[in-house]
Structure formats: C-alpha cells, structure tokens
Structure 1
Amino acid sequence: MEIKDNLKFYKALSREKDIAEMHGVAMTSIAVGKNIGVAPKADLYFVADDVYNFEQKKVDFTNYAEDILNIIELNKSLKNKIRVISISSGYSDKESVLGADELTEAIKKAEENNIAVLCLIPGNEINDFSSLTRVSYEDVNDINNYMPYLYEPYDKNIYVPTDKITYASSLGEEDYAYVSWGGMSSIVPYVAGLYTLACQVDSSITIEKLIK
C-alpha cells in the first residue's frame, strides 16, 4: 500500500519474478512511500533484476547497465521525466565483479540525459553521505538523540538517518517492519527522494548542486 499509488511502471527480469523481495520493497518505501517515504508524491518506475550471474557464480552488473539504458529510452516518451535512478547495490572493487565497465558507461549516459544514478560504487555521489543512528526509544524529533554510525566525526560527510526506522514489508500489502540497524543501502533511496523533491521545486538542479 505504501508504493501502490506511485507505481507507473513495473518490470521483473529476475529469475524469481513472482516473489516480493524484502530489500526492494523496503528501499522503495523509503524513497516514495505514502506514509513513510521522503517523496510520497513522486512517480515510481520499478525494475526488478538479478545482480548475480548464476552461470559464472559472480556478482554481475551487466543487467543493471542494460536496465539504465532502457530507462533512458523510456524517459524520452515521458512528460514527467525520470530524474533519478536509485540502486541500493554496488561494489567496492570493480575488479571483483562483472559488468563494472558497462555500469560506468550506462551511468555516464544517464547523466548526459539529465538522470542522476545513485548506487554503491566508488566515485558515486552517494559516497558523500553516511549513516546516522539514534538512541533507542528516545524522541525521534530531538537531534541530540542522533549520532554518526560507528561514531564517525560529524564533519566528515552529510548524514542520513538509517537506524531505528520503519520500512514497508514484503510479507503483506499492509505490513511494516522495524529495523534497529541500517546502512548504506537505505541511504540511497533517502537521498534519491530528497533529490526528487528538489527537482519538483527547481527542474534545473543537479545532484551535485543538491549536495553542495
């Protein structure tokens, strides 16, 4: 129910097309959830795909790169343009995965078409953000109850609350899940939602300007 009204497009390319995956539902609800999302009135175009090559038994971003290129083409026909792609996945070492170069090229092409791509890879804008945790059971509106994840210095990055939060659950249409610990994967949709809100106010804004 959190994302139903936002959904304009859905395509499942995964081997498990009929199974709701916890991570996808949860991350999407952070970005555009009706009650818990950052940008609850944004349009949602959802592509479910595999990031694992079952034949070579390696993480493989070739499909993700192709998905980005398809979204670029789809965007050409849309009146309300897609401005950001949120991918709560990535790699720390491109040599250890397949399709890293293809993903890099697809991201570059998306940026050339005014679409920001946020994903967990070296050099991506999402690395300007870090996780913020908070004291359990204390007032969520009191900034003094928040602290950097793993006690990083406050002035290192821009911080996003990722711990002690509620997601939409994949177990039922009206179910939610509460998690004590979050991480970088939940930063991505949060920032994507913020950027979406910024684009609604100023269509000329870029992700770089938002971060500054």
Structure 2
Amino acid sequence: MKKKYKILIIVFILFIISMISLNVLIKPNNALNKGTAGIAVKVTPADWKVGKLNKLPQLSSNFKNSKGMDLRSKDLSEADIDGREKELLNSSFDSNTKWPKNITSVFSPEKIMSLGKNPGLGIRTLHSLGVNGKNVGIAIIDQRLLVNHAEYKDNVKSYEELHCGRETSMHGAAVASIAVGKKTGIAPKSDLYYIGQDPVDICQKSKVNFNYIAHAINRIIELNKKLPQGKKIRAISISIGWSPRDVGYSEVIKAVDRAREENIFVVSSSLKDTYGFKFNGLGRNPLSDPDTSSSYTPGLFWQKEYYEGKYNLNNTLLIPMDSRCTASPTGYRVCFLPRRWLELVNSLYSRCLCSFL
C-alpha cells in the first residue's frame, strides 16, 4: 500500500512539473483580490488554421478601396502569383504565410514587414534619445489579449477581463503592440494595464452596452490611485465611440469625466465630443519610408471622400495607420502581419494600426 501511495505522489509531482513547463498552471492572484494590479487570466493563442491556396483570390477592379486579400497563415507555395503585385501590396499576410519560391521577383514580404514595424515619423529617433514612455502607464480597454506575446509581455503589469468574449483577439494584440511593443511600439518602455472587454450585450439583442466600458474605466481609475507617484496611468485607449442613443451613454461620459479629473487622457472614437478635436489615419504604400512625411496620404478607407472634397480636416490630428506591423494572437513568439489597410484603431497618442503576428 505504501508503495502505491509513493507512486501516486511521484505521478502527481510529475504532473505538476509538466503543467508548469507547459505554462498551464495558474497561480491565484492575491493582489487582484486586494484591488491592486496583477495578471488575473491565462489566455491561450488563437488557432488560425493553415489553408492551402493553389491560386490567389480574384478581387474587383475597385480593390484599392477594399480590405484586399487575406493571406494570413495561408500556404501559397504552389500558387501562381505572376502579374499580381498590385493586389499583393493590398494584402494581409503573416510570418506563417508560405510563399512561392519566386516571390522575391514579384513581391517583397520581408521588406514590407521590416518597414511596417517602424512606428514612423522619427519615433525611433526619440527612443534613442530616451523618450520611450518609461515610468508612464498606459491602459487599454479592448478585446481578449494574448498576454504572453514576446512583443509586449514584459510591459503588462495588469490584465483582467470584464464581460469578455472567449476568442483571443487579433485587435487586442495589435493595439497592445502598437502602444508598447519592443519592435513596433510608440512607447516601448511604458507599463501596460489592460482590461479585456466586449461591449456587445447579447441579452439586449447584441446591442453595444457602454455600461461595461464605464465600469472598466472606473476600475482603471481606482487602480491608478494605488500606483506610486511617478508610475501613474496617463492614458486610456478605447477603440470604439458612443452616442446619446446608446445604452450606457451617460455612464461612459461620466466615467470619462472622472478620468479627466484624475489627469488620465481617454482616447476613443468619440474624441471630438470628449476633447473637442478629431483624428484620422494616414495611408502609406507598404514599400515607402515610414520616417518620411511625403510617404503619407489620406488613409485608404477615407481617401476617396477626401479627394472628392467631402472630408473636413479642420481641427483633425492625422496619424500613421496603413501598412503597419503588429503582434498577432496566434503565438507567443514574435511573428508579424503587415496589412495594407485596417480599421482605425486607437492606441497611445491616438496612433493607429496595421498588424503583425
């Protein structure tokens, strides 16, 4: 009997060791129970299954104003890409995309990735001078985050979830890496406080309920009060906007006002209503220099409106958006996904994105 117990104990110990080595065991976070910061949730990578394509998808003649081809994690090793360079420049791909052997004679995915990691407009020069966000806290309220991605895991000081979906989000990894990413971030030395949150309320016929975002803002305010001087949260990024017709509108407005009273700048798609100015994203050919101002144009999704004279730029902050490289939710290592176009995303100092794995 004693021998049997010894065997069981040994098996149990080996099981615990294996769980630790696989990063599966989650220790209780006592800090969060006391209302302070910590990592409360373990998130696993998203599963983008590799699919094989024998030919590239056909796009409409108006593809310049579309999201383009999605080639993320696709096997194109046997695909015919001759004559498709313009469409490839308008595609999304990642470091798991398998290209044909002749890809470099038609397209330059490695160069596009390298350029896309650069925040642009001299930001890296500021980093070299020590202007890198050190001792500045940034909070993000967005979809579920892959916390342990190598691009930003050392910056994450707190991760919690509030009314959050189950899927690990591409959007969360993207905005986190644009804010504090080692290779792509505007402020790579900043501390990141993140709340995973989905404002869509299924109980209310899938309408957005801004009470959840208000709750998350209030949580960040309370958390900030416990942080030491010199390490305070200075900005909250929320990639959504609200109007008086929305559920929870008054609550989220009150929460933003509380944040302002605490000297926390809240970036959202409602910036014009909350701070009196608006912002929009700039476009860039993926092979042009991100540090050169002449490389930028109106963003792909709104340039037609601009060139037709229908877009008013008064009191508008313009920031790089298209052709950016950001962290992906599919793995902990650093892999990248540059995109020709992505929806406007709010990150530190209202910077916007295009993605990498």
- TM-score, normalised to structure 1's length? 0.81
2:329 to 154, 170, 189: 170
1:72 to 192, 205, 221: 221
**Structure 2: how far apart are the matches of 1:103 and 1:154?**
27
Q: 1:192 to 1:134 in 2, by over 3 A?
A: closer
Q: 1:89 to 1:154 in 2, by over 3 A?
A: closer
1:172 shift after superposition = 1.0
Unpaired runs of at least 5, structure 2: 1-149, 352-357
- CA RMSD after TM alignment: 2.1
Asked if the contact 1:68/1:107 (under 8 Å) is kept, the reply is yes
Asked if the contact 2:256/2:266 (under 8 Å) is kept, the reply is yes
The equivalent residue for 2:349 is 191
Higher strand share: 1
- CA offset digits 1:43-77 (Å, max 9, x no partner): 00010012011101211110110111111111111
- CA offset digits 1:82-129 (Å, max 9, x no partner): 1111111123x331x211110000000111111111111251348532
**Structure 2: how far apart are the matches of 1:83 and 1:144?**
31
**Does residue 161 of structure 1 match 2:312?**
no
Q: Is the partner of 2:198 in helix, strand or coil?
A: coil
Bigger Rg, structure 1 or 2: 2
Aligned amino acid, residue 94 of structure 1? P
1:15 shift after superposition = 4.3
The equivalent residue for 1:5 is 154
**Structure 2: how far apart are the matches of 1:107 and 1:73?**
13
**Structure 2: how far apart are the matches of 1:44 and 1:12?**
14
**Does residue 132 of structure 1 match 2:277?**
no
2:175 to 27, 41, 44: 27
2:254 to 83, 98, 105: 105
- CA offset digits 1:128-153 (Å, max 9, x no partner): 32211012322333322211223437
Unpaired runs of at least 5, structure 1: 194-212
**Does residue 59 of structure 1 match 2:218?**
no
**Structure 2: how far apart are the matches of 1:125 and 1:89?**
15
Aligned amino acid, residue 237 of structure 2? S
The equivalent residue for 1:87 is 238
Question: Which shifted more, 151-160 or 166-175?
Answer: 151-160
Q: Is the partner of 1:123 in helix, strand or coil?
A: helix
**Structure 2: how far apart are the matches of 1:180 and 1:53?**
31
Q: Among the aligned pairs, what percent are the same residue?
A: 36
1:155 shift after superposition = 5.7
1:180 to 304, 322, 340: 340
Higher helix share: 1
1:50 to 193, 198, 220: 198
Aligned amino acid, residue 46 of structure 1? Y
